[in-house]
Amino acid sequence: MPAKLISPNKVEQDYRLFFAFLTLVMIAMYAMTIKNNPALHQFWPAVLFTFLMTAHVIIHLKLSSFIRVASHEIAYIIVQGVLAFSIAQMSSNIGMLFALYMALIGECIGFLGLTRWAALTIVFYLTLSLVNLFNYTDVGSAIYWFGGTIPMVIFVTLYVALYTRQNEAREKAQALAAELEAANRQLSEYAARVEDLTIATERQRMARELHDTLSQGLAGLILQLEAVDAHLSSNRPEKAHAIISNAMQQARATLADARHAIDALRQTSQDDLATALRLEISRFETATGLPCSFQAEQIPCVPDAIKETIIRAVAEGLTNVARHARARQVTVRLSSADGALLTEIQDDGQGFDASAIPSGHYGLIGLRERVRLAGGQFTIESAPHKGTLLKINIPLTVTPDAL
């Protein structure tokens, strides 16, 4: 048998009104037939007719159970045809004949679809109805009725087919809505996970910022204060005074670094990329006294997320130069090529082995992680006493995962 246009559940859910209406029609036709047919006024014919009508209606209501298995569909078609033939034969009522067979034709189109099997079933039911007519009318009347029945069969066929397709479209729309709702829930869960990861990443970044400012600064102050205490205990106030002076300068520098880190956490630069980088370089020159040149080619429009990543990366790179490089000259270069933005930070300082970042260079570790989260690449070219070159290459089409 062919694939069904409607599922058993669909028959039970969407066709309840149809079966309720069909049941009422059958009851009305039963009462009318019993009233108008004298042959059914006798006890046993009336009992048999009532039994046949009851069985016919009950099998109608159990349609969903029959169409679960292909062989049961065939049994349903045959049994209902036999019952309809017997009921029509006993009723001798053209109205009953019409109600019985039109209902069966509509049903078979509903669960068989517009297929060869449905066409054969329609021919089967029409043949039975024509035999019924031959039995209690003349041949001319039967043929005339049969000719008028064909348009009604076409109408029922088209109506049921359209109604079934409408139900299919509604089922698909409901399934799509359920899929969209599930996808929306998944997106919400994904967004929550991304938010948690972003918060965790931001905490790590803040920890690095604080380590590079407060932790290292305070550790240096403690060492100097211990040296002051040792000199005072040895009655060397001049050396103690010199160390205190240096400690005060270091405390001010640490405080400035901490404020700068807090400002970077709170604020998002509203300037274009080149202007924001010039501002960072100016702060670096003011704080360190080291000259820093800035070279920038014509830069395309940069998304805010990537802009902030580059600004913070340059700030961290310059901070590392100030703390570790012992440089005399620093250069920052900005260029674009092949849909990517290349940022270079170069110094002429003491350098180091680039294959193993020395302890204390937490800024470089944080810088590498920041660039990775932005979807870019970070490389270091350095050697002892040959300076350091930091390269940050970020595609402009990539949205950073976190800042």
pLDDT tens string 10-20: 444 555 666 67
pLDDT score of 266: 56
* Contact by Cβ (8 Å): 124, 90: no
pLDDT surpassing 80 at residue 182? yes
pLDDT surpassing 60 at residue 9? no
pLDDT score of 123: 81
pLDDT score of 331: 94
- Amino acid letter, 401: D
Domain ranges of the chain: 8-137, 271-403
> In the block, which residue shows the tokens 């590392």?
320
Secondary structure in 3-state letters for the chain = CCCCCCCHHHHHHHCHHHHHHHHHHHHHHHHHHHHHCHHHHCHHHHHHHHHHHHHHHHHHHCHHHHCCCHHHHHHHHHHHHHHHHHHHHHHCCHHHHHHHHHHHHHHHHHHHCCCHHHHHHHHHHHHHHHHHHHHHCCHHHHHHHHHHHHHHHHHHHHHHHHHHHHHHHHHHHHHHHHHHHHHHHHHHHHHHHHHHHHHHHHHHHHHHHHHHHHHHHHHHHHHHHHHHHHHHHCCCHHHHHHHHHHHHHHHHHHHHHHHHHHHHHHCCCCCCHHHHHHHHHHHHHHHHCCCEEEEECCCCCCCHHHHHHHHHHHHHHHHHHHHHHCCCCEEEEEEEECCEEEEEEEECCCCCCCCCCCCCCHHHHHHHHHHHHCCCEEEEEECCCCCEEEEEEEECCCCCCCC
Superfamily, domain 271-403: Histidine kinase-like ATPase, C-terminal domain (3.30.565.10)
* Contact by Cβ (8 Å): 347, 332: no
CA-CA distance, 178 to 170, in Å (whole number)? Answer: 12
* Contact by Cβ (8 Å): 285, 262: no
CA-CA distance, 216 to 354, in Å (whole number)? Answer: 22
pTM > 0.85: yes or no:
no
Other Cβ atoms less than 10 A from the Cβ of 131: the count is 13
pLDDT tens per residue, range 331-357: 999 988 888 899 999 999 988 887 776
Residue-averaged pLDDT of the chain: 76
